[in-house]
Amino acid sequence: MNTKKEVVAMLLAGGQGSRLYALTKDMAKPAVPFGGKYRLIDFPLSNCTNSGIDTVGVLTQYQPLVLNDYIGNGQPWDLDKMNGGVHVLPPYESNSGASWYEGTANAIYQNISFIERYDPEYVVVLGGDHIYKMDYSKMVDYHKAQKADLTIAVLDVPRSEASRMGIMICDDEMRVTDFVEKPAEPKSTLASMGIYVFTWSKLKKYLIENENANTGSKDFGKDIIPSMLQNGERLFAYTFEGYWKDVGTLDSLWDANMDLLAPAEQLNLYDKSWRIYSRHSNFPPQYIGANAEIENSMITEGSVINGKVDFSVIFGGVTIEEGAKVQYSVVMPGTVIKAGAVVEYAIVGEDCVIEQNAHVGRSPEEYEGEARENWGIAVTGHKITVSEGMQVAPKQILSESI
């Protein structure tokens, strides 16, 4: 059987996501719920399917149970294929020994044989923690037109943010001349989105060289890209326009959820030509009770709302009792918020119970002036109970029940 694929995508899903703290205690970052009925990994997986890429390797390492279960056979993303489809690739033992994935480049290196099965011309390398809709096939076309060895997707960011990101310096033809991680004095505002298209023969060569050089980091940003630049390979930047958000921190995760409620919503989840797919839970439609009050919110199947919900994203199977109040918050699947409880400016994890009259988070209006430094969103991890009358302060991250 001819198994050749022009493009294979490799999705780096092994990271712990330590800056999401309690939310990634028991699950890898790409499995974190987002936007009412998705998990972060739905975005790159759906983008692959919508871009016509049907062969995806998902590199897992940290707490893979939830993620493996979620991906399953890949059917929700149409990635259950006779030839190709989605493959979960944990580290494995071979006759030369077993080793964990040591860095992003090493993770791909350890799966060279997976990629070679499909004899691809190009390999797309993706992260699992970004929210965006992107047609990778256009980027691959650009890569071909530029006769590039590596194309890096970039976003033109405000100068103030550039010093927090990996910055590409390009000539007039968009050929990358330099790459600097988090520059103090950014010479450009083109930030890497962590999306790469490699010509496979080149990538393979550099992966093997990097492995043999044993740099210790074995990382795309630290090793592969600098070596390719040094050797005068053809590196190009591909400018992406549209909504893109790194959700690597609790604040950015909350922000990205709130972005879905913004009037000029840039990320259109209702566009039928570019659906974001996800695995379903067979919930009945949501029910909004006779005394509920709902304003500017996103709510999904299986939820029962009898309380007040304002500027919030409510996931599947959530119960909000009469007399409870939820505002400017993200409430993940299966959570119950009981009568009299208040949840504001907070992220509440999966399957939590917020008991009667408990109070999670506070409004920033209560923290004017200097006190503002003490304000931030409150977070509870998964399967946590906040007992009756208990408080979770702003900026507090709860990883045990109270």
Report the interface residues with other proteins, using CB under 8 A: 35-37, 75-76, 261, 263, 269-270, 275-278, 280, 282, 284-292, 294-301, 304, 313-314
Cβ closer to other proteins: 39 or 359? 39
Q: 161 or 295, CB closer to other proteins?
A: 295
The single-letter code of the amino acid at 72 is: G
Measured from the CB atom, the residue of 294 and 397 that comes closer to other proteins is 294
Radius of gyration of the chain (CA): 22
The nearer residue to other proteins, 156 or 295, going by C-beta atoms, is 295
> Shortest gap between Cβ of 300 and other proteins (angstroms)?
4
> Least distance to other proteins from the beta carbon of 291, Å?
8
Closest separation in Å from C-beta 366 to other proteins: 24
Q: Which is nearer to other proteins, 208 or 262 (CB)?
A: 262
Report, in Å, the least distance between residue 334 CB and other proteins.
Answer: 11
Q: Is 282 exposed, middle or buried (0-12, 13-18, 19+ CB in 10 A)?
A: exposed
Q: Write down the least CB distance from residue 305 to other proteins, Å.
A: 9
**CB environment 242-277: b (16+ within 10 A), e (fewer):** ebbbbbbebebbbebbbbbbeeeeebeeeeeeeebb
Q: Which is nearer to other proteins, 160 or 282 (CB)?
A: 282
Nearer to other proteins, 289 or 389 (CB): 289
Burial class (CB in 10 A: 0-12, 13-18, 19+), 128: buried
Q: How far is the CB of 270 from other proteins (least distance, A)?
A: 5
CA atoms within 13 A on the CB side of 208: 7
- Distance set, CA 218 to CA 107, 128, 168, 211, 215 (Å): 9, 19, 20, 7, 6
The one-letter amino acid code at 228 reads: M
Taking a C-beta distance cutoff of 8 angstroms, is the pair 351, 319 a contact? no
Q: Considering beta carbons, is residue 207 or 313 the nearer one to other proteins?
A: 313
Distance in Å, CB of 81 to other proteins, minimum: 15
Distance, CA of 54 to CA of 358 (rounded, Å): 47
What is the nearest approach in angstroms of other proteins to the Cβ of residue 325?
Answer: 16
Alpha carbon distances (Å) from 334 to 62, 221, 280, 402: 24, 38, 13, 19
- Closer residue to other proteins (CB): 258 or 397: 258
Task: Choose among 316, 268, 320, 269: nearest CA to 294.
Answer: 320
Q: How far is the CB of 353 from other proteins (least distance, A)?
A: 17
The SS3 call for residue 187 is coil
Least separation, in Å, of the C-beta of 310 and other proteins?
Answer: 10
CB nearer to other proteins: give 288 or 397. 288
DSSP bridge pairs for 313: 298, 330
CA atoms within 13 A on the CB side of 51: 23
The count of C-alpha atoms lying within 13 angstroms of the C-alpha of 255, restricted to the half-sphere facing its C-beta, is 13
